[in-house]
Amino acid sequence: MTEEEDFGLDDLLEGFTPTPPTQDPAPPTNLPVPAPPSEAEFMGESGAVTGKARMEAAYGTGDGEGQGVAMVAQSAKVEAGTIFHQVYRPWRGNLNPRWVRNWSIFRHHVYGLFSKGHRPWPMTTKLFIAIVLFGSLIPILTMAMSVLTGLSGLMEFYGVSRANLWGHVLGVFHNTCCWPLLTALVVGGLISEDRQHGTSAIYFSRPVTRTDYTLMKYLSASAILSMIIVFSYCAYYVAAIIFNNEGWAYLLDTLPFFLGGLVAAVMLVVTFTSIGLALSSLSSGRFFPAVAFLGIIFGSRILAFLIKLLFERDTLYLISPYDNLAHVGQWMMGLNTTYDFPPAWSLVSLLLMNGVSLYILISRVNSLEVTRE
């Protein structure tokens, strides 16, 4: 062909005759057939077992490090070196309703204190809870000792009375060394750690609403605090009845202020949980909420105390959650109040504190993201 001649694709294809595809030669029949793998590796799927761990093959942590291909992913062909069959198995169960999901959140937090597999509470927190619980049960042990030894002085000192019941929940010692520290340790990381670790995505990408999430976190925290504060309070009262072999008359005499103390204990748990969770929702770590909570409880008390010393006015105790609780508790248990202003002011102050805390908590939980941008 010369350059002047017309040139086309047909010219290129001219003379090209397609050849039929050749068939692969038949495999020789006398070759030994490899024995099928004898050991089932995964749920009845047979495969060669090399003894290598799956992670070694999948993530190159062992002998397979130099290999460019993850051998674990080869599902269809069983060859030497295949570790396991990756078979997708459907699940045909039913998903339970809302309350089961909520129960799982509650259980995750509360059971974590006692057993593995749930929320991993720090050992220091568990230890502190055990010590506080033991400490709050000391009056019971003392009463038991009094009954066993016949030392009536012990019973008079540790026995049930208005002041002792009030002191068990709202006494200065418990509210300096026990309950605030307990709350700081328990509540500090409940929401902040979800923010820190991105765990909120696990909750909110599932059919858990923010209301459920907040409510169950709140209930979990208050349940743990109640387990110590309310339980030990009730146990103290019941133990006094049992040890002294008291009858109906004692019950009628003491039940009103016992119930007053019980309500005060619940109010303490609720208020501390509200403030603690609100602080936890503001942060991404457990340290700040814990320290801030202690700062609010102790700082407000100290500030109000100093103002009282300097100006002989105790109205500033209204900013102290503890003093508001103590004041309302005194009023409910029929004790003489130690504050100059009416208990209703303290009650209103407590309601305001709880309201503000819950508002912060709800708005901050609403800002928790499923996707980070």
Partner 1 sequence: MSGEWIVETHDLTKKYGEHVALDSVNLNIRPGATGLLGPNGAGKSTLLKTILGLIALTSGSGKVLDHDIATEGPKIRQRIGYMPEYDCLIPDMEAIHQVRYAGELLGMNSNSATQRAHEVLEYVGLRDQRYRAVSTFSTGMEQATKLACSLIHDPDLLICDEPTNGLDATARGFMLDTLFQVVKQGGRSIIMSSHLMDDVERICDRMLMIHKGQVIAQGRIQDLKAIDREIEISVWGGANRIEEKLKDMGQSVRRTGRVMRITRIDETTYRTIIKAAAETNVQIRKMEDYEPSLEDLFIVIMDRLGYSVKSSKDLLAGPTPTMDQAALQGRKVA
Q: How far is the CB of 280 from partner 1 (least distance, A)?
A: 16
- CA distances (Å), 236 to each of 14, 137, 213, in order? 106, 7, 33
**60 versus 343: smaller Cβ distance to partner 1:** 60
Helix axes of 210-244 and 98-111: crossing angle, nearest 10 degrees: 60
Ramachandran assignment for 51, one of left (phi > 0), alpha (psi -120 to 50 degrees), beta (any other): left
Q: Does the footprint of partner 1 cover residue 371 (CB under 8 A)? A: yes
Question: At residue 114, what is the residue type?
Answer: F
Q: Figure out which of the listed residues 100, 249, 252, 309 binds partner 1, where binding follows CB under 8 A.
A: 100
**195 versus 327: smaller Cβ distance to partner 1:** 195
Are the beta carbons of 129 and 224 closer than 8 angstroms? yes
Are the beta carbons of 138 and 122 closer than 8 angstroms? no
Q: How far is the CB of 74 from partner 1 (least distance, A)?
A: 8
Residue from 209, 212, 184 nearest 122 by CA: 184
Are the beta carbons of 280 and 296 closer than 8 angstroms? no
Return the DSSP state at 160. Answer: -
Q: Does the footprint of partner 1 cover residue 53 (CB under 8 A)? A: yes
Please identify, among the stretches 66-74, 170-178, 179-187, 235-243, the one whose residues bind partner 1 according to the rule CB under 8 A: 66-74
Q: Does the footprint of partner 1 cover residue 57 (CB under 8 A)? A: yes
Ramachandran assignment for 44, one of left (phi > 0), alpha (psi -120 to 50 degrees), beta (any other): left
Q: Figure out which of the listed residues 87, 130, 177, 306 binds partner 1, where binding follows CB under 8 A.
A: 87
For the window 13-52, what string marks contact with partner 1 as x by the rule CB under 8 A?
A: -----------------------------xx---------
For the window 185-204, what string marks contact with partner 1 as x by the rule CB under 8 A?
A: ------------xxxxxxxx
- DSSP per-residue string spanning 286-323: SHHHHHHHHHHHHHHHHHHHHHHHHHS--GGGGG-HHH
Q: How far is the CB of 203 from partner 1 (least distance, A)?
A: 6
Q: Figure out which of the listed residues 37, 60, 167, 295 binds partner 1, where binding follows CB under 8 A.
A: 60
**128 versus 231: smaller Cβ distance to partner 1:** 128
Angle at 320 between CA 317 and CA 321, to 5 degrees: 135
Please identify, among the stretches 94-102, 176-184, 306-314, 320-328, the one whose residues bind partner 1 according to the rule CB under 8 A: 94-102
103-142 binders of partner 1 (CB under 8 A) = 104-105, 108, 116-120
Q: How far is the CB of 45 from partner 1 (least distance, A)?
A: 11
Query: Which residues are within 8 A (CB) of 184 and not within 5 positions of it... i.e. 6 or more apart?
Result: 276, 289, 290, 291, 293, 294
Question: Which residues sit at the interface with partner 1, rule CB under 8 A?
Answer: 3, 7-9, 12, 42-43, 53-55, 57-61, 64-65, 67-70, 72-73, 75, 84, 86-93, 95-98, 100-101, 104-105, 108, 116-120, 197-209, 370-373
